[in-house]
Amino acid sequence: MKKLLFTCLIVSIVYLAGPIPAWAHHGYAAYDETKLLSLKGTVTDYELANPHSTMSFDVKDEQGKVENWVAEAGHIRLMQDEGWTRTTLKIGDVVTFFFHPAKNGSHAVDLVKVVLPDGRALWAHSSHDQVPTDKEK
């Protein structure tokens, strides 16, 4: 009995002394949540995944130069709840992206909503505040 108690004590100490995983999220501090912009672009990559779904798209600037953009969206369950599937976007689709831009001016964005080629709009953000109305598509 003493041996079992001693073994349990040692296992407990080792377990408690080990590293404790931290469940953290980076948040959205890198994005300007006060601004909502939109761009029409051609999808170059799309991944419905955890912890964030991502999509890449190309946009031509005023001089005709192609700019590559990357959008971060919600986790897979959120996206599915909003109507997204793994085949919602296809490479080559031209869609309108509504997003909060990066504060540092990079082409990485926090995606809010997408208007698909067929005119359907899908949310990609965990909150529907500060989002475009259907008239802003």
pLDDT digits (tens, 9 = 90+) for 42-67: 999 999 999 889 999 999 999 999 99
Per-residue pLDDT of 74-124, as tens digits, reads 899 999 999 999 999 999 999 999 999 999 999 999 999 999 999 999 998
The candidate with the shortest Cα–Cα distance to 121, out of 72, 84, 80, is 84
pTM of the full structure: 0.73
Q: How far is Cα of residue 58 from the mean position of the Cα atoms in its chain? A: 17
CB 92 within 8 A of CB 43: yes
Q: What does the alpha-carbon distance between residue 129 and residue 116 come to, in Å, rounded to a whole number?
A: 20
- pLDDT > 80? residue 37: yes
Q: What domains sit in the chain, N to C, each tagged with a CATH number?
A: 30-136 (2.40.50.140)
Measured distance CA(54)–CA(118) in Å, rounded: 21
State which amino acid sits at residue 127. Answer: S
